[in-house]
Amino acid sequence: MKISREEVEHVARLARLALEPTELDELTGQLDAILGYVDKLNELDTQGVEPTAHAVPMENAFREDQVQASIGIERALQNAPSTADSCYQVPKVIE
Amino acid sequence: MDSRYEVVIGLEVHVQLTTKSKIFCGCSTAFGQTPNSQTCPVCLGLPGALPVLNRQVVEDAVKTGLATNCRIAPRSIFARKNYFYPDLPKGYQISQFELPICEHGWLEIETEEHGQKKVGITRIHMEEDAGKLLHSDGNSSSVDLNRACTPLLEVVSEPDMRSADEAIAYLKQLHPIVVYLGVCDGNLEEGSFRCDANVSVRPWGQQELGTRAEVKNLNSFRFIKQAIEYEVERQIEVIDDGGKVVQETRLFDADSGVTRSMRGKEEAHVYRYFPDPDLVPLVVSDAWVERVRGTLPELPAAKQQRYQGELGLAAYDAGVISAERPVAEYFEALVALHNHPKTCANWVMGELLRALNENGIGIADCPVTPKLLAEVLQRIEDNTISGKIAKTVFGEIWQTGKTADQVIAEKGLKQVTDTGAIEGIVAEVIAANPGQVAEYQAGKEKLMGFFVGQVMKASKGKANPGMVNQLLKKKLSE
Amino acid sequence: MKLNSSSIHQLRQKLAAGELTSVALTRACLERIAATNGKVNSFITVCEKEALAAAEVADRRIAAGDAAPLTGIPLAVKDIFNTLDVRTTCGSKILDNYISPYDATVIAKLREQGAVIVGKLNMDEFAMGSSSENSAAGPVLNPWDLQRVPGGSSGGSAAAVAAGQVPATLGTDTGGSIRQPASHCGVVGLKPTYGRVSRFGVIAYASSLDQVGPLAGNVEDCALLLGAVAGYDPADSTSVDTPVPDYLASLKEGVKGKKIGLPKEYFIEGLDPDVKKAVAATIATYQQLGAEVIEVSLPHTDYAVACYYLIATAEASSNLARYDGVRFGVRKDAGEGLIDMYRQTRAAGFGDEVKRRIMLGTYALSSGYYDAYYLKAQKVRTLIREDFFAAFEQVDLLLTPVAPTPAFKIGEKVNDPLQMYLSDIFTIPVNLAGTCGISLPCGMSHEGLPIGLQLLGKPFAEAEILQAAWAFENATDWGGKFPEL
C-alpha cells in the first residue's frame, strides 16, 4: 500500500474536501494505484539533475509601481454568495 | 527575571512597504478606504488572474537588506504558502521560502549587561499581506480585501536576544532604519511595522533551545516588552509545575496584558510550500545592488556617531536628533547655515521640538524653516538679541512666517548695547532699591540676580545681559 | 456556399467583397448551433445577443475599410477563458453562476480584432480530463460518432469546429487538451510554446504547463488565429517577449530539405493498427515532399505520464484553493462554521476527477513527500526536456501519433483514471518540454473515425510546424472533412 485510508482522510482535511466514507474508500484505491504507477520515476537516477520549474527559461518580469484603477466594489462583490456593508460575509470559525 | 533560566528571543518583523501600488497588481495601497474598493481580479484571487511583481518592492528589499548587512541573493524565487482562510483570497500566500532575497545580516544593539552585541538577521523576504477579517457579533465575519496583496518584507532575526530589553533594543535599531530608507512609514498602530516574537526559556548552560511559543499581535514597543515578559513568566511557571511548554501561536491581549493560545488555525504547519509557477525567478545583478547601495542614505547609527565625533554633540543629543530622519535632516540643514552644532542641537531639541509637540505637527510641516531659524541664531551670535528675546522672536516667526530681522525691527526687540543707556537704567535701579543695595554690599551677593532682573525688566528684556552684569557689578562695588 | 464548412479564409473574402455580412454569418452560426448542439453538447453558453451586437459593429468596421483579419468572423472559446459580463463556468458546478468581471487577454485581443464571440465551449471540468466527460454541463459527444468521446479537455472546442458550428475556436492544452480532441474530431489544433500566448484570464489548471491555442478546420485558419492571440503580455509574468512572426506569410514554404524525426518510443506495442498505418503513411508523403525522415530517440518518454500527473496535480491543488465559496461561486453552508462551509462547498462544487487530482496534488506537496514526488518530477522533467533538445539537434521536427487509439466510447475509461491518463502518453511530453505541437487529420479508422498526426517543433518554431502541416494537408485529402450531423 502506497497510501492508507487515514492518510487519504488527512489529505482531504488539508484540501478542505468533505468526502463520504465510500468516496474515501474509492479514492484510497485509486490514489494507491496512481502512486504505485508514479513510483516508476524512482527508476531514474536524478542526482545532480536541476529541477525544471518552467520549460522555457525565464527571469525578471516586473511591473512599475504605478496605481491602476480598481474594478470597483460592485464588480468585486457581484459574484459573492453573501455580502454586507461592502464586505464578503463568511461563517464564523467554530472551534 | 528568574535567574535559573536563560531567555531566548527571536523576532519576525513584518515591514509594510510604502509603495504606491500593491506587490502583484496595480491597486492602490492607501489606508482606510471603503472595504473592497481597492481590488481587482489579481488581489481578489479571481479565476484566471495572474501576479506580476512590483519592481519597487525589489528595490526596497535590496535597500533594507543592504542597510542590515545582508547578502543579496543573486537569484531568488517566490513560493506559495498554502492554507485556507477567508482573508487569503487565493488559498495561498505568495511569499519566499527557499532562496529569499536577503540572508545573513545583522544589527548591533547596546545592552546593559554585555555592551555592544550583534543580533543576527537570518533572512529578509518579500511577500503579500492578507486582507482583513472583521469579526462581528452575529454568526458571520466580514472580509475586506483592500489590504490583500500589499507588499511586506518579513525580517527574521536569529534567536539572539536574551531579554525583552534586548528585543526592544533590536527593534529600535530596525525601526528607524526602515523609516530612514523610506521603505516603511513605521506606523505601529496602523500595522505598518508588526512584530511576532518567538520566545523560549532554557536552563542556564543548556545547549539546545527550549520549546518556543510565537506571540503575535504586538503593535507597540510597550506591548512587545509586556508580552515577552509575560510569556517568559508563563513558560517558567509551566516548567516549574512539571509541565511542558507547547509549541504554539499565542495572541497578546493588550487589555489584560496576557498571551492566549490561538486556536482555529489547524494544521497551520502543513503549508505545502512550492515554487509559484505563475512567477519567474528574480535575478538581481551586482550592478543593480551597487546602484541601490549608491542611493542609501546615511543611517541613524552612522549619523549618531558622526554627530558625536565630528560635531561634538553629547551622546544623548546625538541619539535624539538622529533617531528620526526628518529631524536629522532639519538639524543638518540648520548646521549648514549656522555652523554652531551645539547651539543648533539645543534649539532643535528645545524650542523646536517643544513647539512641534505643542502644536501636534510633524517637522516636515514646521513653519519655521531651517533658514528662518538659522537667522535667529545668527542674531544671538552677533548680539542683536539675547537668547531669551530669541525665543520671543521664534514664537513670532512661528505665527507669522516673517524673518528674524523683520520681527526684531517691527517689535523693536534689538538688544540695547549702548553703554550709556544701560548705565542710565542701572543707576535708576540702584537708586530705587537702597535696601537691597545695602544688603548686597553687606555680602549678600546672590542679590545680583535681583538687580539683573530689575534692569532687564526696565529695558523690556532688550538690554544685553552680559553688559548689564558687568555694569551692575561695577556700580554696586563703587 | 456552405457556411458551416467554410474556412475563415473564404469567409474573409466574402465579407470583404460585401457578398456576406457578419450579421448574416453570425446568424447562420447561431442557427447551426441551435440545430446541432442538442446532439454534440459542445456549447455551455451561447451569447446570441452579444454576438449579434459585435457582428453589427464588425460590419460597420468592414464597410469603413478598417477590417482586421478576424473582423466579423464568428468564433467560440473554451469556457476556461474569462469573458467580461458573460457566464464563465470552466465546466464546473462550483462556477455555475459565475459572471466574469473581466476579459482574458486573448479575449480582449479577439475583441480588438473585431471577432464575433458566439459562445463558450464545453470541456472537462477545470480542463482535467481526456474525454470531455467530466463536465457539469454533461459530456460532449463526438460529431463523427455520437457514441464516442471527442477527446478532452477542449472537447467542445474540437467538436464545435467538426460540427460546423463555428470555423475556429480557442482551447487550452496542458497535457494534450487541444491536440488530442483535434485528432479525435478530425480538425487541426495547435499547442504553442509555453509563453507564446498569454495565460492572463485563463482559468488555471497547471500553471507551468497550460497554454492557449487555436483549433480550426484547416491549417491556414489555425495559423491566422494563432497570429491573432500570440504575443507578449505584461500581465502574464510567464509570457515571453519575442516577436510574433507572420505565420500566414511563411505558411507555404514547404518541407523540402527538412529533417523529420520519428521518436522510436512513440511507435510502441498497443498502438492501434489503424493509427499505426495512418501515421506510417504520412512518412512517405513527407519524403515525397522532399523531407528527410530519420529515427530518433526520446528515451524518457515512458516517464512522462507519471511526471506530468505529479506536477500538474500539485499545481492544480494550489490553483483550485481559491474556490472556497467566499468571493464567488456556489456556496454550500450548513451553518456549522467556516471550515465546514469550505469542505461542503468544495465537496459539492467539484466533480470526481477534480477531487481526485486535488487529493493527489495535495498529497504530493505534503511535508515529507515534496522531495519524493514534486521535486523528483521536476527533475525528471529536466531529463524529458533534454531528450527533446537532443533530438532537435538532429532534426527540425518530430512526427508522432497524437493518441494511441481513435476516439474511445463514452464511459469506457471513466472508472479507470490511470488508463485515462495513459491515453495522453504522446501529447504530455511536449507540455513538459514546453515546446510546440500541432495535430492534424491524417487518416480514418476502419470505423470511420478520424486519426491525427502530431508534428512537434523547437521552442517558438510554430511557423515551422505550421508549414509542415500545411504541406501535408495540401498533399493529401485528409483535411477539411466534416461529418454528417
Mean pLDDT of B270-280: 94
The string of pLDDT tens digits covering residues B124-148 is 999 999 999 998 778 899 999 999 9
CA dihedral sign, ordered B155, B158, B160, B163: positive
Half-sphere exposure of C141 (CA within 13 A, CB side): 13
Query: CB of B14 within 8 A of CB of B219?
Result: no
Active site residues of C: 78, 153, 177
Cell of C218: 484547416
User: What does the pLDDT read at residue B1?
Assistant: 55
Distance CA A10, CA A27 (A): 13
Q: Model confidence at B449, in pLDDT bands (50, 70, 90)?
A: confident
Most C CBs within 10 Å: which of A52, A63, A89, as the mutation test of the C interface?
A: A52
Cross-chain Cβ contact A71/C434 below 8 Å: no
Q: Model confidence at A94, in pLDDT bands (50, 70, 90)?
A: low
The contacts of residue B457 (CB under 8 Å, 6+ apart) are none
Distance CA C80, CA B43 (A): 20
The contacts of residue C91 (CB under 8 Å, 6+ apart) are C44, C79, C80, C122, C123, C124, C125, C126, C127, C134, C135, C136, C137, C153
Domains of chain A: 1-45 (1.10.20.60)
What chain C residue is nearest to B93 in terms of C-alpha separation? C318
- Chains near A with 3+ CB pairs less than 8 A apart are B, C
Which chain B positions have a beta carbon within 8 Å of A64's beta carbon? Answer: 54-56
The string of pLDDT tens digits covering residues C405-435 is 999 999 998 888 888 888 899 999 999 999 9
Distance CA A93, CA C341 (A): 10
Nearest residue, CB atoms, C434 vs list A27, A43, A56: A56
Nearest residue, CB atoms, A52 vs list C101, C363, C381: C381
Give me the residues of C, 55-84, that contact B with CB < 8 A.
Answer: 80-82
- Chains near C with 3+ CB pairs less than 8 A apart are A, B
Give me the residues of B, 31-70, that contact A with CB < 8 A.
Answer: 34-41, 44, 52-58
Is residue B350 within 8 angstroms of chain C, CB to CB? no
Q: Model confidence at B264, in pLDDT bands (50, 70, 90)?
A: very low
Query: CB of C111 within 8 A of CB of C103?
Result: yes
What residue spans define the domains of chain B? 5-288, 298-411, 419-476
What chain B residue is nearest to A79 in terms of C-alpha separation? B46
Is residue B269 within 8 angstroms of chain A, CB to CB? no
Question: How many residues would you count in chain C?
Answer: 485
Query: CB of C86 within 8 A of CB of C99?
Result: yes
What chain B residue is nearest to A14 in terms of C-alpha separation? B267
- Chains near B with 3+ CB pairs less than 8 A apart are A, C
Which chain C positions have a beta carbon within 8 Å of B134's beta carbon? Answer: none
The contacts of residue A72 (CB under 8 Å, 6+ apart) are B37
What chain B residue is nearest to A16 in terms of C-alpha separation? B84
Which chain B positions have a beta carbon within 8 Å of C339's beta carbon? Answer: 84, 266
Residue B2 pLDDT exceeds 80: no
Cross-chain Cβ contact A58/B281 below 8 Å: yes
Q: CB-based burial of residue C329 (10 Å sphere; 0-12 exposed, 13-18 middle, 19+ buried)?
A: buried
Cross-chain Cβ contact C322/B278 below 8 Å: no
Tell the residue number behind the cell numbers 505558411, with chain if given. Answer: C251
Distance CA B377, CA B334 (A): 10
β-strand B140-144 against A83-84: which pairing, if any?
Answer: unpaired
Distance from the C338 Cα atom to the nearest Cα atom in chain A, whole angstroms:
5
Spell out the per-residue pLDDT of chain C, length 485, in tens: 467 789 999 999 999 999 999 999 999 999 999 999 999 999 999 999 999 999 999 999 999 999 999 999 999 999 999 999 999 999 999 999 999 999 999 999 999 999 999 999 999 999 999 999 999 999 999 999 999 999 999 999 999 999 999 999 999 999 999 999 999 999 999 999 999 999 999 999 999 999 999 999 999 999 999 999 999 999 999 999 999 999 999 999 999 999 999 999 999 888 999 999 999 999 999 999 999 999 999 999 999 999 999 999 999 999 999 999 999 999 999 989 999 999 999 999 999 999 999 999 999 998 788 999 999 999 999 999 999 999 999 999 999 999 999 999 999 988 888 888 888 999 999 999 999 999 999 999 999 999 999 999 999 999 999 999 999 999 999 998 999 98
Percent with pLDDT over 70 in chain B: 98
Single-letter code of the amino acid located at C110: L
Query: CB of C147 within 8 A of CB of C200?
Result: no
* Residue in B185, B178, B180, B166 with CA at minimum distance from that of residue B224: B166
* Residue in B98, B56, B54, B52 with CA at minimum distance from that of residue B73: B98
Tell the residue number behind the cell numbers 446568424, with chain if given. Answer: C27
User: What does the pLDDT read at residue C466?
Assistant: 98
Distance CA A83, CA B4 (A): 54
pTM for this model (two decimals): 0.91
The string of pLDDT tens digits covering residues B357-411 is 899 888 888 999 999 999 999 988 888 888 888 888 898 899 998 998 888 888 7
Distance (Å) of CA B75 to CA B23, B166, C239, C272: 18, 33, 20, 48
Domain C3-241 has CATH 3.90.1300.10: yes
The ipTM is: 0.97
User: What does the pLDDT read at residue C448?
Assistant: 96
Torsion of CA C238, C243, C248, C254, to 10 degrees: -90
Residue B266 pLDDT exceeds 60: no
Single-letter code of the amino acid located at B61: A
User: What does the pLDDT read at residue B458?
Assistant: 84
Cross-chain Cβ contact A55/C337 below 8 Å: no
Helices C462-475, C219-229: crossing angle, 10 deg rounding: 160
Helices B387-400, B404-411: crossing angle, 10 deg rounding: 110
Q: In CATH, what number does B419-476 get?
A: 1.10.10.410
- Indicate the SS3 state at residue B442: coil
Query: CB of B84 within 8 A of CB of B120?
Result: no
Query: CB of A81 within 8 A of CB of C325?
Result: yes
Question: Torsions phi, psi of B132, nearest 5?
Answer: -120, 135
What is the SS3 assignment for C396-436? CEEEEECCCCCCCECCCCCCCHHHHHHCCCCCHHHHHHCCE
Is residue B41 within 8 angstroms of chain C, CB to CB? yes
The string of pLDDT tens digits covering residues C57-93 is 999 999 999 999 999 999 999 999 999 999 999 999 9
Question: Torsions phi, psi of A53, nearest 5?
Answer: -90, -45
